Amino acid sequence: MKKPVYLDYNSTTPVDERVLEFMLPFFSDKFGNAASKTHAYGWVTEEAVQTAREQVAALIHSEPGEIIFTSGATESINLALKGVYEKYHSKGNHIITVATEHKAVLDTCVHLEKYGAQITYLPVDKGGLIDTGRLRSCMTDQTILVCVMMANNETGVIQPMREISQIVHERNSLLMSDATQACGKIPVDVRHEGIDLLCVSAHKFYGPKGAGALYVSRKNPRVSLVPLIDGGGHEKGLRSGTLNVPAIAGFGKGCEIADTEMAENAKRIKVMRDHLETEILQAGNVFVNGSRENRLFNVTNLAFSGVHANALIGELKDIAVATGSACSSAIPQPSHVLKAMNIPDDLAYSAIRFSLGKYTTEEEIRFVAGRVKEVVCRLRISE
């Protein structure tokens, strides 16, 4: 068993060997610029990009022409939020989002407030779910966009996207979803769920870092955006710049593999997650944060009463886990997600996220469960 045991798959994942093998030729033999239209080097890479576009589209059940390649979910989020606001602010300046969104969404909303946007931050209940009735009451004629994360990165809580979309579209507004943690893990169907803009990142499901996409609906409704980056008109004019062909090719291959293996991985990983959770809860005064019924199969966020998370992680040097989002790990504050769920500070400071992946083994889970219980008991005695 390799140590440290890696249980931080929601932060990032190792590149699948099949993905890496598929990417390698695009660093050497197939090195052409996908925008070069006059020779075979460009044609080969352009074809690879188009294939990847089709593979990403197949994963989320969209059309290939609705996929805009970016450097990752953060860029996609910025393009969607800022692009919608700049395009539609003459119709209205109101955006609704959720207090438990990723910082990429929340910080972008704060930025837009400086330019006149009115942002409503919906609260969540103790399970991390929004009140759809409250969403309906917050909608106004000025609401141009509602942004709701499909699956939370810290707790795994899954929001009722189809119900949300019906409310949003009743008022002729647009629905955006950060589906970074959902895509590649659970089925995502933008048409069925009524999502107009969706963000995805390759490195969350065994693809390379530096590749992501924004789905932009082209019908019912057709969404228009103002680009963040100008120059050259790449990606339908929404994201200019030379395409990262190796990463995009790997992204597409990762989508193809995820689409094929998703159900089998989910079944196996859930059994291990449930076993890990059950074992650790036996330590006593350990609490699961977030809804246990509406969450991703690979995540458990646990609060250890009487034990500070940093102290616990410091003792678990042979296990790679996190207190929350990797993007917020340097901030010495309790998780904004847990605070929004009205979890007391002492428990929020004691919370650790365990996120499993397809390379996690039963042997690793047995080891982690025993190790965590041992260290928690020792830390509590020392207190």
pLDDT at 333: 77
Residues 179 and 300 both lie in one domain? no
Same domain (yes/no): 139, 77:
yes
* CA pseudo-torsion sign 154, 160, 164, 165: positive
Q: Which domain holds residue 275?
A: 5-12+262-382
* Residue after which a domain boundary falls, among 205, 225, 256: 256
CA 315/CA 86 separation, integer angstroms: 48
Domain count, the chain: 2
- Which of 236, 256, 276 is at the close of a domain? 256
Q: Are 156 and 293 in contact (CB under 8 A)?
A: no
* Residues 270, 225 within the same domain: no
Q: Annotated catalytic residue: which of 147, 199, 327, 377?
A: 327
If asked whether residues 83 and 28 sit together in one domain, one would say yes
Residues 43 and 111 in one domain: yes
Catalytic, 327? Answer yes
pLDDT at residue 383, as a whole number: 64
User: Are 266 and 252 in a shared domain?
Assistant: no
Domain match, 274 and 243 both? no
Our CA dihedral for 181, 186, 192, 194, rounded to 10 degrees, sits at -10
Question: Among the three residues 220, 240, 256, which one is the final residue of a domain in this structure?
Answer: 256
Q: What pLDDT score does 367 carry?
A: 98
* Beta strands 319-320; 5-6: pairing state: parallel
Sign of the dihedral through C-alpha 124, 130, 134, 137: positive
The CATH number of whichever domain residue 148 belongs to comes to 3.40.640.10
Q: What is the pLDDT of residue 358?
A: 98
274 and 213 together in one domain? no
Same domain, 231 and 123: yes
Do residues 145 and 224 both lie within one domain?
A: yes
The encoded tokens of residue 3 equal: 């140590």
Cis peptide before 334 (omega within 30 of 0): no
What pLDDT score was predicted for residue 59?
Answer: 98
Specify whether 178 is located in the same domain as 278.
no
CATH assignment at residue 276: 3.90.1150.10
pTM: 0.96
Do 269 and 217 lie in a common domain? Answer: no
pLDDT in tens, the chain (383 residues): 999 999 999 999 999 999 999 999 999 999 999 999 999 999 999 999 999 999 999 999 999 999 999 999 999 999 999 999 999 999 999 999 999 999 999 999 999 999 999 999 999 999 999 999 999 999 999 999 999 999 999 999 999 999 999 999 999 999 999 999 999 999 999 999 999 999 999 999 999 999 999 999 999 999 999 999 999 899 999 999 999 999 999 999 999 999 999 999 999 999 999 999 999 999 999 999 999 999 999 999 999 999 999 999 999 999 999 997 555 455 567 899 999 999 999 999 999 999 999 999 999 999 999 999 999 999 998 76
295 and 129 Cβ atoms separated by less than 8 Å: no
